[in-house]
């Protein structure tokens, strides 16, 4: 019996899902639980597993096409089994025998035709390769399961040899400059959502960024001193990011105006702190949320940060995991960045940018010492609060980081 495979609902707010790539083609055998396609919503991409063992008889949603959840994307059944009539979605791969015959003629049995392309490649990478006339079968994929990524195609283009242009003959005429060819990369999925949200953020809010530096020498020493105890007792490792998150949560409780949102000419102050932690992925930035963070201990925060980051990298975040934040932290320290200007995550009032810790000669009184300095960049909505209260909030974060023992009491 034919089994329908439908577009899954990846969250309560999901209205449309897109087939990113088909791992199987019409006529391919599939096993129960085997990934047959990757689908994505605005911020999530997951593998769709086959619900039954059999043959992929029909694909009804091509790569790159968006459909509502519950829409049939393909059919699986026994080899040669006919698929029910009445389908309205265009097929990606049509077997030759599917051309309908007149009613009085005998219909040929179903014979699956192998598609020409079985290479696992993302839609964006495929378009770039086609524009550059590259043979994707000769490109080595570095993505999961050997999937070819955009970076793989770009590297292949750089390594390809193109004939040099013939030297122009010396003439009195002015040479005509040929139009430069460009690569056109369609913006979709996560990248499109980020583009729209960031543009709207800059257009619809009054953003101002202030910078400050915190001396985290004592904090790093405390982290080192407690590492063995934390590992043995909690099976965990505290990072500087964990301490920063704790400092931010405590500071937001003391400066409630920063834990707010501006909407419909009103400032909405939140009772609880729902902390967003930005995570960079290959396809873009996601911000999973730690809810009721003020109720979490330092160890609890550390575990939540690691768990959500792992889920983000494995594509297991739900829409609910990424909605409802009241303040966000974005850490670019791992990339060697110092101060930067983070962009607000609407409708939040503030976002803290964290840079890389650098050892710097610093005067402590009359004595020059080597200290670990952490750059902080706070972007806030000037419609909600002015520079002085924003600076007071950042000063409180700095105090917690410079006196880390206060975060444990």
117, 292, 359, 386: which is the annotated catalytic residue? 386
Cis-peptide into 347, omega within 30 deg: yes
* Sheet strands (E) in 7-156: 17-22, 29-30, 35-40, 45-49, 54-59, 66-67, 72-77
Alpha-carbon distances, residue 198 vs 81, 202, 205, 260, 346 (angstroms): 49, 6, 11, 19, 9
Alpha carbon 341 to chain centroid distance?
Answer: 19
Candidates 65, 106, 58; CA nearest to 84 is 58
Q: How far apart are CA 28 and CA 53, in angstroms?
A: 11
Q: How far apart are CA 64 and CA 86, in angstroms?
A: 23
C-alpha dihedral sign at 154, 159, 161, 167: positive
SS3 of 284, please? strand
Helix (H) or strand (E) holding 282, with range, is none
382 catalytic? Reply is: yes
268, 272, 323, 382: which is the annotated catalytic residue? 382
Catalytic positions are 382, 386
């Amino acid at each position: 019996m034919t089994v329908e495979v439908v577009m899954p609902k990846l969250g309560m707010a999901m209205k449309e899902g897109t087939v990113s790539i088909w791992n199987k083609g019409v006529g391919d055998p599939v096993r129960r639980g085997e990934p047959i396609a990757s689908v994505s919503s605005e911020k999530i991409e997951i593998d769709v597993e086959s619900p039954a063992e059999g043959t992929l008889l029909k694909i009804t949603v091509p790569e790159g096409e968006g459909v509502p959840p519950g829409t049939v994307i393909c059919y699986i059944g026994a080899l040669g089994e006919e698929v029910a009539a009445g389908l309205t979605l265009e097929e990606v791969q049509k077997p030759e025998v599917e051309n309908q015959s007149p009613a009085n003629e005998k219909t040929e049995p179903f014979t699956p035709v192998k598609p020409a392309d079985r290479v696992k490649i993302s839609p964006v990478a495929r378009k770039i390769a086609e524009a550059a006339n590259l043979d994707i079968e000769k490109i080595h994929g570095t993505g999961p399961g050997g999937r070819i990524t955009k970076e793989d195609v770009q590297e292949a283009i750089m390594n390809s040899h193109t004939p040099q242009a013939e030297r122009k003959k010396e003439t009195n005429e002015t040479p005509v400059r040929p139009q430069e060819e460009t690569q056109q990369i369609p913006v979709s999925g996560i990248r499109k959502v980020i583009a729209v949200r960031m543009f709207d953020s800059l257009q619809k809010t009054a953003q101002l960024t202030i910078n400050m530096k915190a001396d985290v020498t004592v904090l790093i020493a405390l982290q080192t001193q407690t590492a063995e105890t934390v590992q043995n007792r909690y099976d965990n490792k505290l990072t500087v990011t964990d301490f920063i998150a704790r400092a931010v949560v405590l500071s937001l409780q003391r400066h409630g105006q920063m834990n707010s949102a501006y909407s419909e000419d009103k400032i909405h102050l939140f009772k609880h702190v729902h902390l967003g932690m930005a995570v960079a992925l290959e396809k873009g930035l996601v911000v999973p949320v730690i809810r009721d963070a003020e109720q979490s201990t330092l160890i609890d925060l550390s575990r939540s940060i690691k768990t959500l980051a792992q889920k983000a990298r494995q594509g297991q975040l739900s829409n609910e995991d990424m909605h409802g934040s009241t303040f966000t932290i974005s850490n670019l320290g791992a990339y060697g960045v110092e101060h930067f200007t983070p962009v607000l995550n609407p409708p939040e009032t503030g976002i803290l940018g964290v840079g890389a810790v650098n050892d710097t000669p610093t005067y402590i009184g009359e004595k020059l010492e080597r200290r670990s300095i952490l750059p902080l960049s706070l972007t806030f909505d000037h419609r909600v609060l002015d520079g002085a209260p924003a600076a007071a909030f950042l000063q409180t974060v700095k105090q917690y980081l410079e006196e880390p023992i206060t975060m444990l009491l």
